[in-house]
Amino acid sequence: MNDFVREGKGLFLAFPIKFTGSVVFLSLGQHALLFLCFSALVALDVLSRWLAISAEMLRKEGRRGPTLFALARGIPRARRLGLIKSSVMKERGASKLMMYAFCVFAAAAADAMLSISGNPSGMVPLVVSYLTSTEALSVVENLSEAGLSSMKRLLEQLKGVRK
């Protein structure tokens, strides 16, 4: 019984901090999910870039049409050769995420101002749609550059739609 009372007291220690943290998390949950999704897209972009660099390295060595698995296996060697620099990729990825956050926050501020003034708003969906489609297109371009033929066809179709 003493253990039960002691654990109960432990739950209520720093209750205001825990409660405040929960409220903040719940109110920002959608934004946190959006940031997580942008982070995943940036990580996919970085990985697809590494695959493209690995493909270029393998082509220079005379290997034609390497598989996705072979491209992935070539990434550590490309890093050792200095073709892939993690510090540069980390800096670009972090910069990209900060830029995305600024753009979305600016769009949210614009939406708030438009809404307060009684005008229709829609900046956040527009900005998020643009940023996500641009990032997804970058992944497809990198995979196409890596030599994956299905991505080349998809890229041609996507760019054909844009014309």
Total count of residues recorded for the chain: 163
162 pLDDT higher than 60 = no
Q: How far is CA 66 from the centre of its chain?
A: 26
Domain locations in the chain as residue ranges: 2-162
Question: What pLDDT shows up at residue 39?
Answer: 85
- What is the SS3 assignment for 3? helix
- What is the Cα–Cα distance from 52 to 145, expressed in whole angstroms? 6
Give the CA distances from residue 55 to residues 25, 39, 142, in Å, rounded to whole numbers and listed in that order: 42, 24, 10
Rounded CA separation 42/91 (Å): 12
Q: What is the DSSP letter of 62?
A: T
Q: Is the pLDDT of residue 87 over 90?
A: no
Cα 42 to Cα 93: distance, rounded to the nearest angstrom: 6
pLDDT band at 163 (very low <50, low <70, confident <90, very high): very low
Q: Report whether pLDDT(18) > 50.
A: yes
Residue 126 is encoded by which pair of tokens?
Answer: 């527009």
pLDDT tens-digit readout, 41-83: 988 998 999 999 999 999 888 887 778 888 899 999 998 988 8
Query: What is the rounded average pLDDT for all residues in the chain?
Result: 83
pTM of the model: 0.70
Residue, of 33 and 9, whose pLDDT is higher = 33
C-alpha distances in angstroms, 94 versus 24, 38, 74, 100, 162? 24, 11, 25, 10, 28
For the record, the structure tokens of 59 come out as 């082509």
Confidence band for 131, pLDDT divided at 50, 70 and 90: very high
CB atoms within 10 A of CB 145: 18
| Cα–Cα dist 57/47, whole Å | 15
Q: Which range has highest mean pLDDT (65-79, 81-95, 144-158)?
A: 65-79
pLDDT at residue 94, as a whole number:
81
More confident residue, 75 or 121: 75
